[in-house]
Amino acid sequence: MRNTLITGATGHVGRAVLQHLPDSPAIFQAVRAVRTARTGVRQLDFATPGTYHRSLQDMHTVFLMRPPQLSDVPRYFDPFLEAAVAAGVRHIVFLSVQGAEHIRFIPHAKIERSILRSGLPYTFVRPSYFMDNLTTTLLEGIRDNDRIVLPAGKAPFRWTDVADIGAGIARILLDPTPHAGRAYTFTGPDLVAFPEVCTMLSDILGRTIHYSSPGPLHYFMAERTRDGGADLALVKTVLHYLPRWQKAPAYSDDLHTLLGSAASGLHGFMVRNKALWTKGAAD
């Protein structure tokens, strides 16, 4: 395996990717702060261009994730891609979102276009909605308040387990050349709206989980005061509100084709993670 840099290595998707990669000196983790020198770790802070070249030195392949709080593509990602070209990177695997090719104004779509302009060989991975949002960004509301609050109305979402996404990305990174110029859509089998999600959770947890769907402006104004600020709040608002006006997201068998096994279902995911939503459970 050639030298591969995993950005977002300490995040949910990054950890899932690393779990499916071999323990190899060719695997490097990119982290924002390096307190002590460690083998296989490179410092990369997208807000600090001086870290770009050092993190990319001697890298053949880069798995690129957009930090959720960063949406200014010309400021952060265009210079990073320029540095990747200058460093001799040979392949970019970018974590995008399902439908990015049709929603041109979201940051993921803009980064896709920047990668195309860079001339770097690429693979785009476009997963559908993460099941794991229920155990991360939505965890506290479910566990402590018995509630999910999102501006999604009754729009159906296609749900995918991050563990499956990580396995699929790892398969690409292990041998990226056959996947050059490809865009894969990773989805699970379930198409479920949030009212039904709350019903499923209620049945599994034995208590009622309520769903509230505020208007997009009200939701944005509340979210902008949280960690991540206005940029992250805007992305979350768009990604949950826009599906109300779009066709239901389609199923893709790309994960099944890459992994040779069926993607996980939402009900099984909920059962496996039931303890996380128990009252009084630690984060």
The whole-model pTM stands at: 0.92
Residue 152 lies in a domain: no
189-222 confidence digits (pLDDT tens): 999 999 999 999 999 999 999 999 999 999 999 8
More reliable by pLDDT, 246 or 115: 115
Mean pLDDT value across the chain = 93
Residue 147 lies in a domain: no
Residue 92 lies in a domain: yes
More reliable by pLDDT, 225 or 24: 24
Residue 27 lies in a domain: yes
Residue 13 lies in a domain: yes
108-147 confidence digits (pLDDT tens): 999 999 999 999 999 999 999 999 999 999 999 999 999 9
The mean pLDDT value for 234-246 works out to 87
Q: Is the per-residue pLDDT at 242 higher than 80?
A: yes
Task: Extract the tokens encoding 135.
Answer: 């155990």
Instruction: Return the pLDDT at 6.
Output: 97
DSSP string, the chain: ---EEETTTTSHHHHHHHHTS---TTEEEEES--SS--TTEEE--TT-GGGHHHHHTT-SEEEE---TT---HHHHHHHHHHHHHHHT--EEEEE--TTTTT-TTSHHHHHHHHHHHHT--EEEEEE-EEGGGGGTTTHHHHHHHSEEE-TTTT-EEEEE-HHHHHHHHHHHHHS-GGGTTEEEEE--S-EEEHHHHHHHHHHHHTS--EEE---HHHHHHHHTTSTTHHHHHHHHHHHHHGGGGSPPPPP--HHHHHHSSPPPPHHHHHHHTGGGGSTT---
Residue 22 lies in a domain: yes
More reliable by pLDDT, 202 or 232: 202
Residue 180 lies in a domain: yes
* Residue 92, domain extent: 4-129+160-188+249-263
The mean pLDDT value for 240-247 works out to 90
Instruction: Return the pLDDT at 231.
Output: 77
Residue 223 lies in a domain: no
Instruction: Return the pLDDT at 35.
Output: 67
38-76 confidence digits (pLDDT tens): 678 999 999 999 999 999 999 999 999 998 878 889 999
Number of domains the chain contains: 1
Q: Domain containing 60 — which CATH number?
A: 3.40.50.720
Q: Is the per-residue pLDDT at 37 higher than 60?
A: no
Query: Taking Cα atoms as reference points, which of 20, 7, 26, 210 lies closest to residue 93?
Result: 7
